[in-house]
Structure 1
Amino acid sequence: MFLDVLIRRNPSFIEAAQALHQQGLIPPNSYVLDLDKVESNARYFASEAGKLGLKTFAMTKQVGRHSGFCQAVMRGGIEKSVAVDLDCAVSCDRAGMKTGHLGHLVQVPRVHADLAARDLRPDYWTVFSNDKAREAAAAAHRAGREQNLLARIQTSGDVFYRGHEGGFVAEDICAVADMLEALEGGAFAGITTFPALLFDQDTRKVKSTPNLQTLAKAREALAAAGRDRIEVNAPGTNSAVVLSALAEAGATQCEPGNALHGTTPLHAVEDLPEDPAVLYLTEVSHNHGGNAFCFGGGLYIDPVFPKYDVKALVSSEPTTAASALASVEIPDYSAIDYYGMIDATGRVKPKTGDTVVFGFRGQAFVTRANIVGLSGVSRGTPKVTTIENIFGQAAGWPEKAMS
């Protein structure tokens, strides 16, 4: 779905990745990042958010919390992260990107509350329940600090992905605020939900969910009770083009993730300000029964669109030509993606060792892929920076093993 956009808007990135793979410098099963583009995307997003008074925290899970990605985002002006889970926060902190928001979507485990409060010291910590609020506040108190707490709220009719449910009853927000404020080590800072915005398949536009209205009503109730200076965190499908809508709805915080590498659903159907800056690269292993099998491991295509004909560029030379495109069957999510199956019955005749490049919206952190940073693509001098695992750690590919 995103390969067409990559070919049109960042062909030099594709060709650089293909060449470096053929030189033995990028391993198969790798998400490859154009760090120059990531930096410029972050700079544009941060500038637009700043004009609207929005605090911005970067989501890094989709690209495996890569240290070079974190540093490129910081160079672009977004200084802190939102962590989908504790591993995410630790990885970003290791890369030098401090934690702006922790606990949303995944709550902090009880045994790790002290680590989070003492070592990560997040600006904001989201809690879904009284129990988790008490854990966060107590840990902050033991660390000798006061923790800003965001209450995740929900009401009938709100939209949640299955398995994401949880939060305080929105209609009780004033009592919830008082409860959080009364906790030793805690301070009520504001409200949050997810998702506040979603891509609509029918209109091919980003629309607000009922959750955004829930936030607005809760904010009004809090203001009526004298709490008129609160944070309103409204993540979901953030691109620079939706920021004004968030600000108008009362949001004070936004959290770009896929926007920083140009792969929100809207990027697939419209040319947005953020350039595509990520691809998935692997190589042909063997041929069998009319298919060429390419190494998998990272073939998790985020199902934001209905199933479609997945294509890849297959070649032993750098190219973005249509003649190198072939259809690929991806194993069902119920199977382990050891291989993808490239149709070898058409004009593309894959050979063992050929480079295979996909463009899709990934979620690298749930895979066993490598994450590879490239610098210098925009200057015509591309080189590999680091090869890391999904926790932002060296992935075991020393340079001598790749040459």
Structure 2
Amino acid sequence: MFLKATVNKNPKLIETAMFLHRKGIIEPDTYVLDLDSILNNGKLIMQEADKYGIKAYFMTKQFGRNPYIAKELMKLGYEGAVTVDFREAKLLGNSGIKLSHVGHLVQIPDKSIEEILKLRPDYITVYSIEKAKSLSELSLKLGIKQKIMLRVIDNNDVLYPAQYGGFYVDELSESVNKILNFKGIEIKGITSFPCFLYNEKSGRIEKTHNVKTVQKAKYIIENMGIKIQEMNMPSANCVESMKLVAENGGTSIEPGHGLTGTTPMHGSGKNCAETPAMVYVSEISHNLGESSFCYGGGHYRRSHMKEALVLENNHSKYFKVKKPDDESIDYYFELEENAEVGSTVVMAYRTQIFVTRSNVAVVKGISKGKPELIGIYDSLGKIVGR
């Protein structure tokens, strides 16, 4: 999906990834992250957000919850991290990363609430009265008052499977009145997901119905005398979408794929501000019939992978990739031609590294022609090699 864009805009990343594999420094099934480009992308997004008075948080799940990159993003001036689930919150929080937003998309389990409250997140999103009550009780125990966001939903919203939850906007007044009885928390924000999506037909990032729901929720809550500080509007957050966020009342964004230049818009051929900053490296394992097979482990079912660049005897060639069946384990990726066993394979597709079993190599200095391997991590942000 992003291979041609990466070859055109960041060929040094391709060259570095191939070099690291050929020298045996990285194994097959390794994502290589270009730190220089990630930070430059992050800077561009933050500068655009600043123009509109929008707070910029960052997401790490897409690039494997990597604490090193998170610390570098903090140095740029980002408010802090958005941790999609409680394990990511613990990893980053205990690594010294400021937690800006926890609990969206995954609610905090009851037995983990106190531990995460002690990490002092700015906001915690809740989906239910029960979770709000638990948060309040433990906040009072710790002597704090925790700011919360309410995730709101409506019947016409875009919702992804396995991500359902929140307060129906038509029942919001009743829910808010119940939450106001919990003295350890205070309602300060509203969120939904996804608020914006790339439209292939129009070639633009456009708002979803969720934005209307968030706006309606703000109107309802503020008419109850509660001032809303945060209108959190995630998804497709990149330079291109900042003006759209501001026009719709958004106050905070959460770039993830924007940081690596891998939103759907970046794979469309459009000349985006961000540079592709992530590739996947593998190796030809064997041939069978008219196909070759490279090592897997990095499959993501929404990857839209289409082709691979294979380096044979100092000559590179594009191969079509047969996407793995979602019902099967991705032991191998199948390429639709024979290739020399041991050859380096580079792909660039949409991924969420934290749901793979891949390694992650963080490299700086690529833009200066002096690549330096910072470290090798697992897909969940733990260091496994230097």
The two structures share one fold, judged by TM-score above 0.5 = yes
> C-alpha displacement at 1:276, in angstroms?
0.6
One-letter code of the match for 1:337? D
- Rounded to whole Å, the distance in 2 between the matches of 1:352 and 1:93 is 43
Q: How far apart are the structure 1 equivalents of 2:308 and 2:301?
A: 13
1:48-127 aligned at under 5 Å gives the runs 48-118=48-118, 120-127=119-126
Structure 1 unaligned blocks of 5 or more: none
Rate the CA distance shift 1:227–1:136 in 2: closer, same or farther, 3 A. Answer: same
CA contact under 8 A between 2:258 and 2:274: conserved in structure 1?
A: yes
**Structure 2: 5+ residue stretches without partners:** none
Matched AA of 2:346: V
Q: 2:349 and 2:212 mapped to 1: Cα distance? A: 31
Name 1:313's counterpart in structure 2: 309
- Aligned-residue offset at 1:48: 1.2
How many residues end up aligned between the 2 structures?
385
Identical positions, percent = 36
Q: Encode CA deviations 1:162-193: one digit per residue, 9 max, x unaligned.
A: 12111112134344334334313111112111
Check whether the contact 1:31–1:280 (CA below 8 A) recurs between aligned residues: yes
Name the amino acid aligned to 2:379. I
Offset at residue 318 of structure 1 (A): 6.7
Which residue number in structure 2 is paired with residue 271 of structure 1? 271
Alignment of 1:2-401 (within 5 A): 2-118=2-118, 120-269=119-268, 270-303=270-303, 310-316=306-312, 324-345=317-338, 350-395=339-384, 398=385
Q: Is the 8 A contact 2:187 2:226 kept in 1?
A: no
Instruction: Say which is worse superposed, 372-381 or 285-294, in terms of deviation.
Output: 285-294
Q: Residue by residue, what CA displacement relative to the aligned partner does 1:4-44 show, whole Å, maximum 9, x if unpaired? A: 11000000111011111111111110111000111111111
Task: Output the aligned Cα RMSD.
Answer: 1.8
Distance 1:209 1:180, change over 3 A: same
Shift of 1:233: 0.8
Matched residue type, 2:59: M
Cα distance, 1:340 vs structure 2: 0.8
Change (3 A) 1:264 1:94: same
**Secondary structure of 1:352 counterpart:** coil
Write out per-residue CA displacement over residues 135-171 of structure 1, whole angstroms, 9 at most, x where no aligned residue.
1222222222111010111122111011211111213
Distance 2:188 2:313 in 1: 54
Cα displacement (A) at 1:316: 4.5
Once the two structures are superposed, residues 276-305 of structure 1 have per-residue CA deviations (whole angstroms, 9 ceiling, x without a partner) of 1001111111222222211000122525x6
Q: Per-residue deviation at 1:385?
A: 0.9
Cα distance between partner residues in 2 of 1:273 and 1:167:
34
**Which stretch shows the higher mean deviation, 149-158 or 67-76?**
67-76
CA distance in 2: counterparts of 1:91 and 1:259, whole angstroms: 22
Runs (4 or more) in structure 1 with deviation over 4 Å come to 316-319
Q: TM-score, normalised by structure 1?
A: 0.91
Distance 2:248 2:61 in 1: 26
CA contact (8 A) 1:154 1:193 kept: yes
Task: Work out the CA distance in 2 between the residues paired with 1:231 and 1:178.
Answer: 19
Q: Which of 224-233 and 285-294 deviates more?
A: 224-233
